[in-house]
Amino acid sequence: MLILFAAGLLFWSSTAAFLPTLPLYIEDMGGSKQEIGIVMGGFAIGLLLFRPMLGKLADKRGRKLVLFIGTAVAAIAPFGYLAFTSIPVLFFLRIFHGISIAAFTTGYSALVADLAPIAMRGEIISYMSLTAPIGLAVGPAIGGYLLETSLPETSGYSRLFLFTAAVAVIGVLCASQVINPPLNTQRPSERQNSNFWQILLSPRVRVPAIVMLLVGTAVGAVHIFVSLFIKSTEVSFNGGWFFTVAAIASFTIRVFAGRASDRFGRGLFISFGIAAYVLACVLLWQANSANAFLISAIAEGCGGGTTISMMTTMMADRSLPQERGQIFAICLAGLDLGIAIAAPIFGYVSEQVGYRNMFGYSAALTLLALLIFLTLSNKNLPSSLRFALGRGEDAFSLNNDN
């Protein structure tokens, strides 16, 4: 587990280092605002196109191979940014780079779920998911430092790309040492499906995927537009602090939520996480002070720290080992799609009604996601409400016979 955690930390640090600097690089290479958006959007295309097939590969050939693919792509992609400055080439490079997260997160989540004892599954998955907030806090800071301390700027980009490649290479070495447990592929189950649409439309996956789609759309809107909104309000609050506070809140709540979910059930904490997202969007909708933005950031971090990790844990409960990669890939694809469509949809909405009211619409989306989870997360309305409020078990869980 320690080697796997190290691989995750290195991967996320390498990937996150691009977040604040790559748009600047594209701009310096002559890209317009529209071209910056197109190139950055290529990453989501790579996620959506390749995650389902990588999930199937994880089930057929093992988690370690998919984990290795993710870290290898993360190590190769920076050299592409170093070598090419053409906007069309950078777009296709971003699609290629998107394979890294599609592969790594699918293989990593499935492997952690395989290794975690059922009684401690929520706790272990939450602890192991800490690699994301740590990497997202460390990576951009290092990337920004490398860029700011280099003269001329082109030298800074070169240092950044070489640094991220070096970190990812170490991640590849760690991934190569991970032990891949054998899968019990001989156990048949009438609940196991191999077709993408069969899995997606099955009751145990359909509702979580829809919830993740709605949440992902709202989260994408927050991540893309919150800094611009804060700037437009002229409130004395640095947009960067919003993400720092959110990362701290996300880190903190993961430490406690996982262990508690093993005792009280996943549904309660998924409901809490979605409700936290609703609160974050409502606060942004009404924000007129630094304190409002600060509380919103805390709520957004609490939502991210519980919803995604607990949804992952719930899907681990609902899947057999030999189908877990596909289940995770399809469910997470809902989140990917939501984040991908957030920019064009809410970009248009913000032009029509402004940033403030745009967050009102994102609050409505997260509220809809909460209502869907409360009423449709299990086989009928009463059992759904009991599960979502921590009063009943998950009817789709396979823990009793896994």
Q: pLDDT class for 194, splitting at 50, 70, 90?
A: low
Q: Would you state the pLDDT for residue 400?
A: 52
- CA-to-CA dists, residue 206 to 71, 80, 210, 265, 333, angstroms: 30, 37, 6, 20, 12
pLDDT digits (tens, 9 = 90+) for 225-252: 787 788 788 787 766 678 778 888 888 8
What token pair was written down for 336?
């990917």
- 201 or 367, greater pLDDT: 367
Q: Do 90 and 213 belong together in one domain?
A: no
* pLDDT above 70 for 154: no
Identify whether 134 is part of a domain: yes
Q: Would you state the pLDDT for residue 288?
A: 87
- Across 386-398, average pLDDT: 90
What token pair was written down for 137?
């806090």
Q: Do 373 and 231 belong together in one domain?
A: yes
* pLDDT above 90 for 170: yes
Q: Do 58 and 127 belong together in one domain?
A: yes
Q: Do 258 and 337 belong together in one domain?
A: yes
CA distance 398 to 402: 5
* pLDDT above 60 for 188: no
Q: Would you state the pLDDT for residue 155?
A: 62
Q: Do 213 and 165 belong together in one domain?
A: no
Identify whether 350 is part of a domain: yes
Q: Would you state the pLDDT for residue 269?
A: 93
pLDDT digits (tens, 9 = 90+) for 61-81: 888 899 999 999 999 999 998
CA distance 236 to 242: 12
* pLDDT above 80 for 91: yes
Q: Do 265 and 349 belong together in one domain?
A: yes
Lowest mean pLDDT among 12-21, 242-251, 278-287: 12-21
Domain boundary among 181, 203, 223: 181
Q: Would you state the pLDDT for residue 74?
A: 93
Identify whether 161 is part of a domain: yes
Q: pLDDT class for 139, splitting at 50, 70, 90?
A: confident
* pLDDT above 90 for 169: yes
Identify whether 402 is part of a domain: no
Domain boundary among 181, 201, 222: 181
Q: Do 222 and 170 belong together in one domain?
A: no
* pLDDT above 70 for 2: yes
Q: Do 264 and 146 belong together in one domain?
A: no
- Across 26-46, average pLDDT: 77
Q: pLDDT class for 381, splitting at 50, 70, 90?
A: very high
3-state secondary structure 348-369: HHHHHHHHHHHHHHHHHHHHHH
Closest CA to 108 of 51, 164, 165: 51
Closest CA to 313 of 117, 134, 132: 117
Q: Do 98 and 212 belong together in one domain?
A: no
What token pair was written down for 235?
């409130």
What token pair was written down for 130?
């800490």
Q: Do 49 and 107 belong together in one domain?
A: yes
Q: Would you state the pLDDT for residue 180?
A: 75
In total, how many domains does the chain have? Answer: 2
Q: Nearest-5° angle of CA 302, CA 306, CA 309?
A: 140
* pLDDT above 60 for 151: no
Identify whether 175 is part of a domain: yes
Q: Do 256 and 335 belong together in one domain?
A: yes
Q: Do 176 and 289 belong together in one domain?
A: no
- Residue 360: domain span: 192-392
Q: Is 0.85 topped by the overall pTM? A: no
Q: What share of the chain is helix, strand, coil (3-state, %, to 5)?
A: 80, 0, 20
Q: pLDDT class for 20, splitting at 50, 70, 90?
A: low
CA distance 287 to 285: 6
* pLDDT above 80 for 197: no
- 277 or 118, greater pLDDT: 277
CA distance 92 to 139: 23
Identify whether 397 is part of a domain: no
Identify whether 239 is part of a domain: yes
Identify whether 139 is part of a domain: yes
Report whether 19 contacts 318 (CB < 8 A): no
- Across 160-171, average pLDDT: 91
Domain boundary among 117, 149, 181: 181
- CA-to-CA dists, residue 160 to 25, 97, 104, 250, angstroms: 11, 16, 21, 26
- CATH number for the domain that contains residue 250: 1.20.1250.20
Q: Would you state the pLDDT for residue 73?
A: 94
User: What letter would DSSP give residue 385?
Assistant: H
pLDDT digits (tens, 9 = 90+) for 321-373: 888 888 888 887 788 888 778 877 887 888 788 889 989 999 999 999 999 99
Task: For the chain, give the mean pLDDT.
Answer: 84
Q: Would you state the pLDDT for residue 308?
A: 86
